[in-house]
Structures are given as structure tokens and as C-alpha cells.
Chain A
């Protein structure tokens, strides 16, 4: 493989292009309790920019305005994160993420004042209409706005396609699904992306998690089913078992004949920088990662589940399966305490009967 994995802008070959969207500095925050500092943000953003990664997304793991006790307080404010990354990017576009109910239009205005290029508004997969006001605001403001559906394994392909069509109506310039739990197998992705592709005319995106070791395979399935945008993080830096690994999925797609425009050596350099600067160890598929993927629970719950399970003396795997049974969705971290306390009470009752 040549050093440049992509076909440059001047190339006339008709390779289908896939746009890579890199949320290392946003989703990766889940893996380090939202504690990335400005030096780390700057180092990685500059490296990703040098590799010609098209979009670099930054922020608290749950997006703008989400720093909280509920999901973890970030080291840097949104303002600090956005200004540092903005300065570090010369060619890559800067992206942010926001969940209505957590962030508001005030947060979007702040991001616009930092010259954000692309905003993603996320909602739970069946609640797309919560994004109507925010997408409308961004459309008025002339900001590129994608809408993403979280925990998308909880809805059928038809329902996701309907939601996506509605989101386009609200003004989304791109739509797609997040496998927030790392629950999908490739056939699930093919079916869902295919349905969405058939329902909308805007770019379609897929965001994978690696709980069951399927993130790259699922991303490939998404592209083959018509996805235009794939999310991926350096070293898979992300919640729980991690995300689709950026420096793996890019050359895989290139080998399949898709063009990403990304420079391979610079990409590998950026991933090495991420490994040394951002994390103690890259995400791995450990026991709770597998269980949370099987249970279909938001990967971002991991650190909180481990903390609380240790404190209450319960098995974190039981906590994950119980959260799955309750159909907990991203943001409902306050349920973890109740689940752990109930399990402990059940354990104690059982023990007293022995």
C-alpha cells in the first residue's frame, strides 16, 4: 500500500468516497472520565488535521452542556475545548455533539461563536422529534447539522428509516445511527442502513462500538449498504470496549476500493500520538464490555457501573443485565445506584435463606 491511501482531490478515478468522522476527542472522553486536558486535545487535533481526517469532533463524552455529576464533570469547559481544537485545525472541520435535554440552543450559539463547522444533534432512536427545534435553529443559522439516533439497536429498520426521514424534514443535512451498546452484528447494520439509505437523500452515517468485536466489520457492512460517513476513533478510544478503530477501518475501506482522502502514515502517527498522549491503555473487550454489548446497554455506563458495583458489593455483570432488562438509555446513569441497591438487597435476602 502506498503511503497515501486515498485518491487525491485531483484524481479522476471513480472510487466511491467514504467520509471519516473522528470523535476521538468526544467519545474517547468516556474512557477517561472526561478528563482530557487542553495539551492533549491540541496534540491529537493537530495530528488528525495533519492526516487530513475530514472531521474532528470534540467535547464532553455526552456533548455540549453535559458536564455533570450524572455522567461526569469534564476537566475543561466547553469553551476551552472548542477554542483549543479550533486553533489546532487547519483543514479538518471541527465537529461537536449535543443531546437535547442536556444542551440547549445557548450551547449551540456558543459553539457557533467558536466557528464550529458541523453539529451533530443526538436523540434516543425513537425520539427524533426532540431535535426539531435545534435542527431548525441550526438550519436558520446556516450551520451544517447532522442528526444521529442513539441506542439504535432498540428500534427496527423501518422505524429508524422513518425517524431519519423526519429529521431531514427538520433540517438535518446528514442522518444516521449509533450502535451505542456495541450490540449489532453485520447483518443488523446492513438491514438498518439499507432502510435509511432508501428513505433519505442526504448522507447516511454509521457509528460503531466494539463490544462484540464487530465494529470494523459493522462499519464495512454499513458502507456496503450505502453509508457515506463512518465514525472511528484512534485506537478505538471510546466508551467501554471502545469504538471502531480509526487506523484500522481506514485502510480496510481503502483496500475495498473506497477512498477516504486520508494519509496512512500520518494517520498511524496520529493514532500513536493518541496512544501515548490520551490514554493509559487502549480500550479492550473485557468481561463487562462483552456483557454490556450483549445486554444492549449504553457503553458509556461502564465506569459508573464498575464504581457503584464495587461500592455496593454486587456483580457488575448482573447490573448490566438488569439495566438491559429495564431498557435504560444513555443519560439514565442515576438508575445504576437503584439497580445496584436492589441487587444487593436481593443478594442479602438470598444469603439469609441459605
Chain B
């Protein structure tokens, strides 16, 4: 329930994504992070939450359902395999769920493409890191050009990919493909994920190849730069590293340098999906306060 002009929030999951998310939510002016839920009190993530002075719990979803606290927003940073159950258990409580797992359960949202859609849904899915990095660009190109085939190859540093994500590779591939299809209208889509073991770790990178018509260098470049500017508004370290087109084929590569307080630079995958999730939550908060304001005035 809102307090001091802020919505109450909880982060479910204290892995690499959950920890970065905590630090982002703590900085928010419109969200009040009341609880971080993990599985193991001795895990590095929950210990870090303790150090940050946050309240923690280890009972999983029960920590949210068996309590008098009311949470306006719950971020699910657990595993795609758990999200459906979390959604079912939280539905009666009216909590808005923002899902960072590739579960495909809730409405898939990419802020610069269909951000307002999030306001009409109680369960919002943030697709995947690769989806958040590629769809703004793919959407921009597909809206202006005929595109017949899209391929998205994501490379994340091994050290930036935690155990749940490692178990969710199939869901990553399936969800990224489904979101690219749904948000670009292009039917033939392939999604691929590589993990790089390089030391120092490789920057998070997404390479996109498109086959279509009239994909000229000038046209594609302008669309890509415009779309990238939109993403940079809330993901500071997002940049285009390659952009070429020869009429029938376009190739675009982007990298994301993480700017989180405790997240290493190479982990742009974590930074971009969390920044997108926070963006959705803050938009929801703004909408909610605007509505409340309208009713009380």
C-alpha cells in the first residue's frame, strides 16, 4: 500500500538480477522497497540485502502471502519455472507483478515499444535481456521496411549469468523469439544465446541480422540511432557498435555497459532488463498517483 507518496515493493529472488534490482529500486522516488525474498539466508544476495538495511525473508512466495503487509508491486527475479505459481498466488492480493524471468506468462513489455500496455495488465513480463536490447531497434526497422526474417544473437559474460538463468536457456530462446515476433510482426525469427567465458569478461552484446527489402544504409542507420536514443533515456550504457545494410540485409550490433552501483560494467544484460522493469514500475506508480489525485481532487 502506498505510503509517503511511494508504492510498496518487494523483490523476489536474490540472485544476480535480484541484487542489482534492489539497488535500483532503493534509489527510486516512487517505490519503497519493503522486502527482499530469497531461499537461503546465507546466500550472498540476502546477506547483501541485510547490509543495505533491507528486510529479508527466506520463505519464497509465502513471505508475501502469509503476512499482513500489502505489496503494490512485486518484482519476480526467480526462475521462469516458478513464475506461473507466483502469479497465481499473488493474483487475489491485487499486487502488480513485474516478471524478470522468461516465463511468457504475463504481458510482454518493452518500454519504448509498448510501454503503455503495462498499465492495463497485472502481470507484466520483461521478456529477456536480449529482447530488451534488440526489440526497440527491430521494431523501428520493421515498422518502416519490409522484413522477412530476423535473427537475434545475444552474448553475455559467463560471470553475469546466474544458476536460474542457466536452467532457463530454452525459455530464454522461446520467450525472446515470441516477443520479437509479437512486437515486430515478423513471423520468421530465430533467437540464439552464447555465454562468453573470456577474462576480462566480454561486454553484453546483441547482434541482429535482418533480411528484407530496401534496407539501405542511410535509412537503417537513422532508424537505429533514433531507437537507441529512446533506450538510452533510461539505460545510460546502451550503444550501437555496428550498423551496416546493403539493401537485402541489415546487421546491427549493440552493447550495454552496466552503470549499476554494485554491478560490474560487463553485466549489461542485468542492467538493461532491470532498468526496463524499474521503468515499468515507475510508470505504473505515476499512473496510480495521477488517478488517486484525480479522484481525491
- By a beta-carbon cutoff of 8 Å, the part of chain A in contact with chain B is 68-70, 100-102, 104-106, 124-127, 129-130, 132-133, 154, 326-329, 331-332, 334-335, 337-338, 341
Taking CB as reference atom, which chain A residue is nearest B208?
Answer: A334
On whether the beta carbons of A132 and B194 are closer than 8 Å, the reply is no
Given A68-B151, A70-B207, A127-B197, A104 contacting B170 (CB threshold 8 A): yes
Taking CB as reference atom, which chain B residue is nearest A71?
Answer: B192
Given A154-B197, A326-B202, A327-B198, A105 contacting B192 (CB threshold 8 A): no
On whether the beta carbons of A327 and B197 are closer than 8 Å, the reply is yes
4 cross-chain pairs, A with B, having the tightest CB-CB distances, nearest first? A334-B207, A327-B198, A101-B193, A104-B170
When distances are taken between beta carbons in the complex, the residues of chain B under 8 Å from A100 are 169-170
Chain A proximity of B214: nearest CB distance (Å): 19
On whether the beta carbons of B195 and A327 are closer than 8 Å, the reply is no
- A101-B195, A102-B192, A104-B169 known; 15 new pairs, CB 8 Å cut-off, are A68-B192, A104-B170, A106-B170, A125-B197, A126-B158, A127-B197, A132-B166, A133-B169, A326-B198, A326-B202, A328-B196, A329-B196, A331-B153, A332-B196, A334-B253
A304 and B211 alpha carbons, distance in the complex (Å): 18
User: What is the interface residue range for chain B against chain A?
Assistant: 20 to 34
On whether the beta carbons of B195 and A70 are closer than 8 Å, the reply is no
On whether the beta carbons of B194 and A129 are closer than 8 Å, the reply is no
B79-120 with Cβ < 8 A to chain A: none
A192 and B242 alpha carbons, distance in the complex (Å): 39
Chain A proximity of B148: nearest CB distance (Å): 12
On whether the beta carbons of A329 and B166 are closer than 8 Å, the reply is no
A70 and B249 alpha carbons, distance in the complex (Å): 13
Name the contact of A105 in the complex, choosing from B149, B170, B205 (C-beta under 8 A): B170
A329 and B173 alpha carbons, distance in the complex (Å): 19
Given A70-B192, A70-B207, A337-B242, A101 contacting B163 (CB threshold 8 A): no
Where chain B touches its partner, the secondary structure class is strand
On whether the beta carbons of B173 and A70 are closer than 8 Å, the reply is no
A255 and B158 alpha carbons, distance in the complex (Å): 44
Between A and B, 23 residue pairs with Cβ closer than 8 Å are: A68-B192, A69-B211, A69-B249, A70-B192, A70-B207, A100-B169, A101-B169, A101-B192, A102-B193, A104-B173, A126-B158, A129-B166, A130-B169, A132-B166, A326-B198, A327-B196, A327-B197, A328-B198, A329-B197, A331-B192, A334-B153, A335-B155, A341-B242
Chain B proximity of A345: nearest CB distance (Å): 12
- Asked if B52 is at the interface of the complex by the 8 Å CB criterion, the answer is no
When distances are taken between beta carbons in the complex, the residues of chain B under 8 Å from A132 are 166-167
On whether the beta carbons of B194 and A331 are closer than 8 Å, the reply is yes
Chain A proximity of B196: nearest CB distance (Å): 6
When distances are taken between beta carbons in the complex, the residues of chain B under 8 Å from A126 are 158, 197
Chain A proximity of B147: nearest CB distance (Å): 13
A335 and B207 alpha carbons, distance in the complex (Å): 9
When distances are taken between beta carbons in the complex, the residues of chain B under 8 Å from A341 are 242
Taking CB as reference atom, which chain B residue is nearest A137?
Answer: B170
When distances are taken between beta carbons in the complex, the residues of chain A under 8 Å from B192 are 68, 70, 101-102, 331
When distances are taken between beta carbons in the complex, the residues of chain B under 8 Å from A124 are 158, 195, 197
B144-189 with Cβ < 8 A to chain A: 149, 151, 153, 155, 158, 163, 166-167, 169-170, 172-174
